Structure 1
């Protein structure tokens, strides 16, 4: 089961889909930077391309660059930022974010929302799909919002 899930994730990454799950799924034994580049390594992207994408991640999320040598078992909002950076390493066509604001203090949630807004402005060709239970936080990034209640779009 786990092998099939990982094969599916690799296939999606190969298609340019980056995914930041709600629970982050970081490898605590790896550094922050190792966690970020992991999907690019799994796809065997050339070092020059990995470097370019890592530079872009650090430009968008400069706090990750200062944390890059820390162990990957970071908590809360920092872990969400690392998961976003990891997803961005392969997100060429789409970025899927599952409850990206969960666990953030209000000020950090607004900062994260501003980061996503900057991403939307800098990469208008990137589809960003977000599941979020606090939709007001998405104002800076949404082009279209759909609300789903009990399995139906309302």
Structure 2
């Protein structure tokens, strides 16, 4: 008689633990990125490509470990005024811990390239820790970098 009761209690406990970690309600926002691109002499660079870099993760089925790679999820060109703008993006995060909820880690990875210049890849690892009702991660956060490209020495 004790074994079925123990199994039921253990099953309920397991469901509660899983419920803490796997929920589709959490939305992760990628920050807005807007800025300018210039060369080393301060001259504006028109039509430079600016790409948001994101990370894709998957499990290696043969060996069982997690792999990841970077990919360009958005690409824009600088306009006549050498400005660029990458919109805020969002995605649903299915796996997270209760510790994620009150904090926001905000970052933006992107690269800037133009023929005749060295590609500039930057990572902002700025941590924003705030709690705002109904907001997660980088919602309403915007990075405004001024990127300087160096000419190729060829």
Bigger relative contact order (CA 8 A; separation at least 6):
2
TM-score after normalising by structure 1: 0.23
> Structure 2 length as normaliser, TM-score?
0.23
Structure with max Cα Rg: 2
Higher helix share: 1
